[in-house]
Chain A
């Protein structure tokens, strides 16, 4: 104990070489006990939730001292202000007990075990850094001993040294952790990051920068930042702008990498400063946009291709449409002329030679005439059907109720002898092509009119119903109806479900209606029972 003061520097050195806080304390406990002759030493720190003090696992036992006490101590915790460690934590002052076997359990909660282990004198000292207690060290020895200043002085001195070493160590640890954290962040970035000095030299780079340039870190650091771009002048202007404005956003540059490949990037950069606000350099992050650019180029190419294809298709379609137009024009003119001859000369025969023809000959000529007139009607209806398809859609708000009323009035005027009741729901307005929708309603209402002709009193209804959340318009009649078995043929051109002699028609009307509905993106269907009328539903 004579040379203990000389041993202090060696101990401090050993402590400062310890790898962390806990092993530093372990070293301190061992050194202090060995130098000053205490048989046992342990240390108390705050638990992680800061509610109590708990012992750190490492404790010192001199050879021959009972390990049992060390093990039992490990299970102890002290609330602040309780027991020796708790009191010292608050008072920040050392305590000396000449003989723990003589004090109460309140004063020294471990007294019973200490007595069993044979411990007597006890010294507790705080390790203080700044204003904060970092730990409380507790030493015990087998002898009973009055307070001795030289022990107290040495241990307090060691504890003070220990405090500053530990504090430095802790700060260092924190700094290292922070620095490692920052470095990891920087390296984790997929974007190439660079710091640039006010002279434009590269000061630091991350892995991504090595990747994009193909040049290792050591060869990048210290070189001119602008050297790695296709337009060095532009790169210099970029970082000068950062120094003058404090930042740049999405500054476009092209990196030329070691293999000569060009990579388009956008730079975002800010200045960074020291604690006094002095600008140290520029922190620049590049974003590789070569893939985006490539994708854009790809999209542009595909668009151009699509455009070309559309133009080609449009041209083909226009040609086909023109052909169709020419065809129907020709049909309209040329198919009709022979029919006029057939009808006209049959009529001439009837008129001029009626006297020499018998009844059967006249009947034949009448049949020829009605057949040619029927064919004329077929041609007209076919032209209407083809016109419905070719016609350009002109959409607007169309009042179906008003149209239905007009059509009903026309039908009643054409055959005033018929007794037909029309029930038309008012205010049914849709968006569509007025002319096409009129043609559609003319067909549906015309059919209802035609197929109720055998009824004494006919009823025709036009209204709307909500089916599957969609407004479904309907035309309902109490006419002859049709057999649902043939419903699928209803909307095909030239398909008829009734005899010409019963109900005249060309079988094109409903095909036209369906095309009109199709052109409006809607659907049409029908329900009926033979003899009980029919209902035609449509939505648009």
Chain B
């Protein structure tokens, strides 16, 4: 791996930029690996990266049926925050937050992490009470989050309409200043480049069609579109398709897959300083460095693998955006798309060992997995390398749906997941 630096740029500028090497190679799969990761999204690539960089396991393949970062990693609205209610959630999301801080330096890759502040709007008395409860819980857990009056919210985000006669009145807001955004593609690319440089094979266009188990029931490898690949440890990091993958190993999951949509506007000059989320009316908005407004909508009501959603869902979100930010009423939307999100009953993820020896699963991030990418990969690598969970992901078991030890962020309603 050639290090990126100002000197490298100067050298290549003189050579007409003809000497930049590929960021990762596309090797033929070997007959077997120590670890196979299924799914080359941010979480899967981060897992491989930390397995190689922190646990010295480099004989790894990361398989993807499409291209790397082509699933939900490339489809989300790139929001980063950690203001969840429960201690377990604070643990994992704040772990990610700490890793975001130095990630560009660690990866020698600009992931464009921008802690510009995430503001969550309260539109009614229930919102006010829920957000204040979250703020207190967050502060006990060392997570920054503060309450803003409507005027303070407007001062932080001037386009906000706080008029008393607004259709969705603003009664205040919760602000996490360390929250923000990062460039989603760069996160996948940076982890892919870092992992490949440490010897990890990233094999794209290689769909996993089966998980083979030995006579003792333990994992023996995966059947793929490019033949059988042996591995004594397999990590499934397949987001919306986790149920399908786990079915191959005979493990039934507490998951349902829903379409979630996002859209971007035409690019305009910088006009929107932060991330604003409104859970109550389902609108999430920020402005990318390219100038596009990045807008997130809600999920469709039915389960689907179609990677597309209903137009009325987007329409509802844009209604809300136009009400809250009247200056955007004449913005043109350029593109919209859908991703498939895997949702657990308690809206908290599953990062755990499974009843099958050698099979590990990292799934159930629902509509909000991007923010956790570095932390998720980091603790999942520990889980695979040591065959036991890291203290941070120890509560996020598959068994909690049997024991009843849920981490019920759904009921806590930190966000409409």
Please say whether chains A and B are actual partners in one complex: no
